[in-house]
Structure 1
Amino acid sequence: MLRRKGSAARTWLVLDGEGKRKVVEASKQIIMRRTGVSTRDLRVLDPLLSYPSTIVGRDRAMLINLEHIKAIITAHEVLLLNSTDHSVVPFVQHLHQRILTHHRATQQQPQEDRDETKQLDDMKILPFEFLTLEACLEAACTALENEAEILEQETYPALDKLTSKISTLNLEGIRLVKSRLVALAARVRRIRDELEHWLDNNEDMAELYLTEKIPPEISLERGGDSASDDEDDQNAGTDESAETKNTFDVEELEMLLGAYFVQIGGTLNKLSRLREYVDDTEDYINIALDEKQNRLLQIGVKFSTSKVLLSAFICVTAIFSINIHIDLFDTGMPQFLATCFGGTAACIFIYFVAITWFKHQGLVD
Structure 2
Amino acid sequence: MERRQPAPLALRRKGAVPAREWLVVPAAGEARTAEFGKQRIMEMTGLPARDLRVLDPLLSYPSTILGRDRAVVVNLEHVKAIVTAAEALVPDPVNPLLRPFLTDLHTRLALPDVPSTSPATDRGTDTDQSEGNGPTLALYRSGSVKILPFEFKVLEVCLEHTCKCLESEVWALEKEAYPALDELTSKVSTLNLEHVRQIKRRLVELAGRVQKVRDELEHLLDNDMDMSEMYLTRKLTFQGFSESLGRVGSNKDASTYHDEEKEEEDRDDDIETGRESFAYVKPNIEELEMLLEAYFVQVDGTLNKLYNLREYVDDTEDYINIMLDEKQNQLLQMDVMLTTATVVVTAGIAVVSLFGMNIHIDLMKDPETPEEARIKNMKFLETTWGAVAGCIVIYLLAIYAGKKSKILQ
Question: TM-score normalised to the size of structure 1?
Answer: 0.86
2:87 equivalent in structure 1? 77
2:299 equivalent in structure 1? 264
CA 1:246–1:84 in 2, change beyond 3 Å: closer, same or farther?
Answer: farther
2:381 paired with 1:337: yes
2:152 paired with 1:144: no
Code of the aligned partner of 1:112: T
Of 323-332 and 73-82, deviating more is 323-332
2:335 paired with 1:313: no
TM alignment of 1:158-177, pairs within 5 A: 158-177=180-199
State, as a whole percentage, how many aligned pairs show the same letter. 52
Task: Note the C-alpha offset of 1:79.
Answer: 0.9
Task: Note the C-alpha offset of 1:211.
Answer: 1.1
TM alignment of 1:26-175, pairs within 5 A: 26-102=36-112, 105=114, 112=127, 115=136, 116-117=138-139, 124-175=146-197
Out of 21, 26, 32, the residue aligned to residue 16 of structure 1 is 26
Paired with 1:288 and 1:161, the residues of 2 have a C-alpha distance of: 14
2:333 equivalent in structure 1? 298
CA 1:350–1:177 in 2, change beyond 3 Å: closer, same or farther?
Answer: same
Task: Note the C-alpha offset of 1:186.
Answer: 0.9
Q: Is the 8 A contact 1:213 1:245 kept in 2?
A: no
Give the number of the structure whose alpha-carbon radius of gyration is greater: 2
Code of the aligned partner of 2:220: W
Paired with 2:346 and 2:327, the residues of 1 have a C-alpha distance of: 28
Paired with 2:114 and 2:327, the residues of 1 have a C-alpha distance of: 69
CA 1:269–1:41 in 2, change beyond 3 Å: closer, same or farther?
Answer: same
Task: Note the C-alpha offset of 1:23.
Answer: 1.1
Task: Note the C-alpha offset of 1:240.
Answer: 5.5
1:353 equivalent in structure 2? 397
Cα offsets for 1:309-349 (capped at 9, x unmatched): 12222232233444443443246222122212111111111
Q: Is the 8 A contact 1:68 1:88 kept in 2?
A: yes
Of 299-308 and 326-335, deviating more is 326-335
Paired with 2:26 and 2:286, the residues of 1 have a C-alpha distance of: 26
Q: CA RMSD in A?
A: 2.7
Q: Is the 8 A contact 2:242 2:275 kept in 1?
A: no
Of 21-30 and 239-248, deviating more is 239-248
CA 1:325–1:65 in 2, change beyond 3 Å: closer, same or farther?
Answer: farther
Paired with 1:241 and 1:322, the residues of 2 have a C-alpha distance of: 120
Paired with 1:246 and 1:145, the residues of 2 have a C-alpha distance of: 39
Q: Is the 8 A contact 2:71 2:232 kept in 1?
A: yes
TM alignment of 1:192-271, pairs within 5 A: 192-214=214-236, 215-216=239-240, 244=279, 247-271=282-306
Q: Is the 8 A contact 1:7 1:28 kept in 2?
A: no
| Aligned partner of residue 232 in structure 2, secondary structure | coil
Q: Is the 8 A contact 2:70 2:84 kept in 1?
A: yes
Paired with 2:400 and 2:191, the residues of 1 have a C-alpha distance of: 40
| Aligned partner of residue 75 in structure 1, secondary structure | coil
Paired with 1:301 and 1:242, the residues of 2 have a C-alpha distance of: 89
CA 1:112–1:210 in 2, change beyond 3 Å: closer, same or farther?
Answer: same
Q: Which has the higher contact order (CA 8 A, sep 6+)?
A: 1
Paired with 2:326 and 2:68, the residues of 1 have a C-alpha distance of: 61
Paired with 1:288 and 1:307, the residues of 2 have a C-alpha distance of: 29
Task: Note the C-alpha offset of 1:129.
Answer: 0.5
Q: Is the 8 A contact 1:207 1:245 kept in 2?
A: no
CA 1:82–1:324 in 2, change beyond 3 Å: closer, same or farther?
Answer: farther
CA 1:307–1:218 in 2, change beyond 3 Å: closer, same or farther?
Answer: farther
Code of the aligned partner of 2:312: Y
CA 1:29–1:343 in 2, change beyond 3 Å: closer, same or farther?
Answer: same
CA 1:48–1:283 in 2, change beyond 3 Å: closer, same or farther?
Answer: same
Segments of structure 2 that go 5 or more residues without pairing to the other structure are 116-124, 129-134, 244-273, 366-374
1:287 equivalent in structure 2? 322
| Aligned partner of residue 71 in structure 1, secondary structure | strand
Q: Is the 8 A contact 1:13 1:83 kept in 2?
A: yes
Q: How many residues align?
A: 340
Segments of structure 1 that go 5 or more residues without pairing to the other structure are 220-238
CA 1:18–1:111 in 2, change beyond 3 Å: closer, same or farther?
Answer: farther
| Aligned partner of residue 233 in structure 2, secondary structure | coil
| Aligned partner of residue 82 in structure 2, secondary structure | strand
